[in-house]
């Protein structure tokens, strides 16, 4: 299911064709000020920018936000934006449906997503804007790894319990299973299995 919020900011009530600009961010851009739809409407009303369609895709996940990339952990959100959102917007709104009239911008994680889309998915976007985008992860998060590893160690399975689990999960040897307490006598010829045995063979088995 495709969930988007679209804001068609214009100077009048007539219909028009405009360039769609997916916004990879929350609408509250700046505290105690205009949010993104309000700011766009004000700038267009003041004739400081042309008409545009702003699209706010719902990319929230069970783990929180995301970086708007394809991820085995939270989903393929780059494909979601480029292969689902773009065709949906071009189909449902009067857009100038080409790369040259389409842009992508975001803030924080959305800024990181927009610059990644500009580098890896340039055939979809004619312009990008990165506002305070996440970056330099190996420097920013390196000091968190010791704490993360310590926290994960609390949930590690003890070695003795792990050995018991491995022993319980061990695959049993393949082959036909015999009834408990009965086994084939090693001296019994294979050809006699299932046939009537002689008295000599029955005595050998009984012994």
Q: Does residue 19 form part of some domain?
A: yes
Categorize the per-residue pLDDT at 142 as very low, low, confident or very high, splitting at 50, 70 and 90: confident
- Whether residue 25 lies inside any domain: the answer is yes
Count of structural domains, the chain:
1
| Domain CATH code at residue 130 | 3.40.50.1820
pLDDT at 16: 38
Ranges assigned E (strand) in the chain = 4-9, 19-24, 52-57, 70-71, 75-76, 103-107, 127-131
- Residue 44 covered by a domain: yes
Task: Report the share of the chain in percent with pLDDT over 90.
Answer: 21
Residue 103 inside a domain? The answer is yes
Answer yes or no: is 39 within a domain.
Answer: yes
The range of the structural domain enclosing residue 125 comes to: 4-142
The answer to the question of residue 175 being in a domain is no
Rounded Cα distance, 122 and 141, in Å? 29
What pLDDT, in 10s, does the model give residues 85-129? 999 999 988 888 889 989 998 888 888 999 999 999 999 999 999
In tens, the pLDDT along 24-71 reads 666 666 778 888 888 888 999 999 988 888 888 888 888 887 889 999
pLDDT over 70, % of the chain: 64
Contact indicator for 25, 34 with CB cutoff of 8 Å: no
Rg value, the chain, Cα:
33
């Amino acid at each position: 299911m495709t969930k988007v919020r679209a804001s068609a900011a214009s100077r009048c009530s007539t219909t028009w064709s405009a360039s769609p600009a997916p916004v990879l961010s929350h609408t509250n851009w700046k505290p105690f000020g205009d949010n993104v739809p309000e700011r766009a409407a004000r700038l267009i009303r003041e004739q400081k920018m042309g008409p545009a369609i702003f699209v706010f895709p719902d990319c929230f996940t069970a783990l929180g936000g995301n970086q708007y990339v394809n991820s085995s952990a939270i989903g393929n959100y780059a494909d979601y934006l480029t292969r689902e959102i773009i065709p949906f917007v071009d189909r449902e709104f009067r857009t100038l449906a080409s790369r040259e009239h389409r842009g992508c911008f975001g803030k924080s994680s959305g800024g990181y997503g927009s610059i990644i889309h500009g580098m890896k998915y340039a055939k979809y976007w004619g312009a990008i804007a990165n506002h305070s985008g996440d970056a330099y992860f190996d420097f920013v998060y390196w000091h968190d790894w010791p704490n993360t590893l310590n926290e994960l160690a609390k949930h590690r399975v003890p070695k003795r319990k792990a050995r018991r689990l491995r022993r319980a999960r061990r695959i049993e040897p393949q082959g036909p299973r015999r009834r408990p307490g009965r086994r084939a006598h090693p001296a019994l010829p294979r050809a006699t299995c299932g046939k009537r045995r002689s008295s000599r063979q029955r005595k050998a088995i009984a012994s």
